[in-house]
Amino acid sequence: MAGELRHRRVPSEDGDGDKGVVASSQRFDSADGSSKAGTSSSGGAGGEGAEPRREKRDALGWLEWGRGWIAVVGEFLFQRIAASHLANPLELPPLDGVSIVVTGATSGIGLEMARQLALAGAHVVMAVRRPKVAQELIQKWQNENSETGRPLNAEVMELDLLSLDSVVKFADAWNARMAPLHVLINNAGIFAIGEPQRFSKDGHEEHMQVNHLAPALLASLLIPSLLRGSPSRIVNVNSIMHTIGFVDAEDMNLRKHKYKSWLGYSNSKLAQVKFSSMLHKKIPAEAGISVVCASPGIVDTNVARDLPKIVVAAYHLIPYFIFDAQEGCRSALFAASDPQVPEYCEMLKSEDWPVCACINYDCNPMNASEEAHNLETSQLIWEKTLEMIGLPPDALEKLIAGETVQCHYGQQEAE
């Protein structure tokens, strides 16, 4: 495996790795020198020493933005070297009796994850828009695995993330089984390169809905099943592109700001990190639900056309640096299956780290972007997200307590 996760903490800027996660927190600075990490609102973690409320921003500072792009380019150039110690495919522990939902499991890294998890013995639920394609894949894997004589425990359930009604329907169907769910992998996502801005029938910008809002609703509504499967995990497949994103809670659908497809994508991925971090902080430790964001690296897909020309040229001229799906799924598989992950999440929670556990493409901890550490804006994103997905502000608390929650979408109750 990838080694001792709990000992591989995010390094501090001065290189001192012996002071623990909180002591090694980066005090990020914006272009005007204001501090970003660890800042909280009066009701958040920070107590009496919390900094005064800052003036509202509507974009990243130029220094933050530049550091974000350096991170993107650095990942492109060095990911294969950094991950050279990993086995390919990643070795998985036996997963018999473990139920795992994987969204977007008919292509790319989602397909590869579903296949490897099923081969490891897990009960895999392929949550997809095209059930027929998923059924064909299961049959193909079964045929390829026929020599072992062991049938794969995989099934298909329909889920369309462009419809929040579909998300509620899926969650209701799974919760009705009264069965435990051990892992939810929110893998499905879109990056509509160069395409004009589009909105779902629910009225949300498509990147924001598919990459953030729908997964947030799915994770929230499946809390009862995740509690039954405790210790359980929510794994959100994220991206290094979150480092160049900025989310305005008052304009998450980018109706007021100038739209670019890369901006819609990066903003949605940052929103996912911020919501995940608040979910991580708000779920009681005794609930036993770990929340993780996993970055797959830059994987062989056709998503680079809208990036800066120098990145596009490198993307197409130096394919050696790009991961294939089998390599790209390793971080999410690690986050979903390695026994060290819950311990790492508990450590971050106990030390009041402002961001949820983030696993890099090399299966090591990574530090999220500077803006991701802003607890004040993360709380705003949390509140606005719940409003946009039709859940009341106290939905999480009620679901954990086993109470009924009414969702605006689906016109059905989640219990």
265 is catalytic: yes
Q: Decide if 182 contacts 188 (C-beta within 8 A).
A: no
Distances (CA, A) of 18 to 23, 138, 174, 357: 9, 47, 44, 19
SS3 of residue 101 by DSSP: strand
CA distance 96 to 337: 12
CA distance 78 to 360: 13
Dihedral angle, C-alpha 159, 162, 167, 173, nearest 10 °: -30
Distances (CA, A) of 347 to 48, 282, 335: 23, 15, 15
CA distance 74 to 79: 8
Active-site hit among 259, 265, 344, 361: 265
Expressed in angstroms, the distance from the first to the final Cα of the chain is 37
Q: Decide if 295 contacts 189 (C-beta within 8 A).
A: no
Specify the residue for token string 């009341």.
392
Distances (CA, A) of 227 to 175, 233, 234, 387: 11, 10, 11, 23
Supply the residues annotated as catalytic.
265
